[in-house]
Amino acid sequence: MFGSKPPPAAPVPKPAPLGKDGPISLLLKVAGAASLVATAVKAITNQKNKAAPRTRVLGVIPARYKSTRFPGKPLTPILGKPMIQRTYEQAKQAKKLDKLVVATDDERIAECVRNFGGDVVMTSESCPNGTERCDEAAKNLGGTWDIVVNIQGDEPLIEPEIIDGVVEALQNSPDAVYSTACTPLKHEEVAMRGRVKCILDKEGYAIYFSRGFIPHNKDGEVKKDYTYLLHLGLQCYDRKFLSKYPKMEATPLQKQEDLEQLKVIENGYKIKVITVDHSAHGVDEPEDVQSIEAIIKKLGME
């Protein structure tokens, strides 16, 4: 109607206050709640790790007689003693091992171990590698083990301190299922396929292992100013993980390189690595025996 008053305008909503009921306050409350949840989850995880420390440690030296490159290697005499005996005597000095055994499928090796007073566990001939032989040995032996250490039988000069070091590394790394050791490699040995190389991330976890020359470079040359790492024949496993390992299918890189530890990495698990000073190498080929004997003489370990 002409001349009538217009209807009153709808009230403009006031902005929500910034105080205790405002959006910023609500966001802060949500963020605070999320932080509390994260803290609680972390505390529970830490509590689980503390509640189940990995303390009981079994050392296993897998040994087989049949080898395409070096048949009968464990029984090869090194200055009057079978190689398996020298490895056993070195490993026996480790303080972190609650028990040490040789795992074999060959009665000749078993008899040799019994003769020098060592403990032996028989395993099947069907074990495809040392890792699965360690798993079978732990099952056959019985008992409760938190950690199983795979000590290569062709490392007659392995220091007991290195064995203790890899055990401690796994005990102190709850996010890892495996630990091992590397040592600086002589530059003239970098290209040798019998020397397995390793590269690490900045936290000391393994990125990759290879029989090839790694890390490589665009010049294709061994760089004298770079420290290449040699993987030592020492593998330390969380017992629960080791029981899963045989059930895991072989992975492409594992098959390509013929390296068991790559299956661990390819399945997304972490490997903790310690770097040590270890001047000796393993016995990969018959020609290595002479150099090992020379080191033993030099160290007075005959």
Residue 166, amino acid: V
**Tell me, what DSSP letter sits at residue 19?**
S
Q: How far apart are CA 148 and CA 96, in angstroms?
A: 11
Secondary structure (3-state) at 78: strand
**Predicted confidence band at 54 (pLDDT cuts at 50, 70, 90)?**
very high
For 163, phi then psi, to 5°, come to: -60, -45
Residue 25, pLDDT above cutoff 80: no
What is the chain's percent helix, strand, coil content, to nearest 5? 35, 20, 45
- Say what percent of the chain tops pLDDT 90: 65
Q: How far apart are CA 158 and CA 76, in angstroms?
A: 17
Q: What pLDDT sits at residue 126?
A: 85
62-94 burial, b at 16+ Cβ within 10 Å, e below that, comes to bbbeeeeeeeebbbbebeebbbbbbbbbbbeeb
**pLDDT at residue 12, rounded to an integer:** 59
Q: How far apart are the C-alpha atoms of 34 and 24, rounded to whole Å?
A: 15
Highest mean pLDDT among 90-94, 190-194, 297-301: 90-94
Q: Which amino acid is residue 111, in one-letter code?
A: E
Give me 121's structure tokens.
């566990």
pLDDT level of residue 19 (50, 70, 90 thresholds): low
- 27: pLDDT strictly greater than 70: no
| 148 close to 234: Cβ distance less than 8 angstroms | no
Confidence at residue 301, expressed as pLDDT on a 0 to 100 scale = 84
Q: Residue 241 has what pLDDT?
A: 97
Residues 6+ apart with CB under 8 A from 117: none
Q: Is 52 exposed, middle or buried (0-12, 13-18, 19+ CB in 10 A)?
A: exposed
* 46 has pLDDT over 50: no
Note whether 248 and 216 are within 8 A (CB). Answer: no
Main-chain dihedrals φ then ψ at residue 300, nearest 5 degrees: 70, 40
Close Cβ partners of 18 (under 8 Å, ≥ 6 residues apart)? 24, 25
Mean pLDDT of all residues belonging to the chain: 87
Query: Which letter does DSSP use for residue 168 in this model?
Result: H
Q: Does residue 65 contact residue 76 with C-beta atoms inside 8 Å?
A: no
Rounded to the nearest 10 degrees, the angle between the axes of helix 107-115 and helix 83-91 is 50
Confidence of residue 136 (pLDDT cuts 50, 70, 90): very high
Q: What is the pLDDT of residues 244-262, one digit of tens each?
A: 999 999 999 999 999 999 9
Q: Is residue 183 helix, strand or coil?
A: strand
Tokens 């760089």 map to which residue? 223
Q: Which residues pair with 120 in a beta bridge?
A: 102
If phi > 0 it is left, if psi is from -120 to 50 it is alpha, else beta; for residue 142 that is left
Lookup result for tokens 């000069």: 157
In this predicted model, what pLDDT tens digit does every residue of 182-238 receive, in sequence order? 999 999 999 999 899 999 999 999 999 999 999 999 999 999 999 999 998 799 999
Task: Check: CB of residue 273 under 8 Å from CB of residue 181.
Answer: yes
> What are 118's two structure tokens?
């060592």
Asked if residue 28 has pLDDT above 80, the reply is: no
CB 246 within 8 A of CB 152: no
What is the mean predicted confidence (pLDDT) over 82-101? 97
Of the segments 2-6, 9-13, 246-250, which one has the largest average pLDDT value?
Answer: 246-250
Q: Which domains does the chain have, with CATH numbers?
A: 53-299 (3.90.550.10)
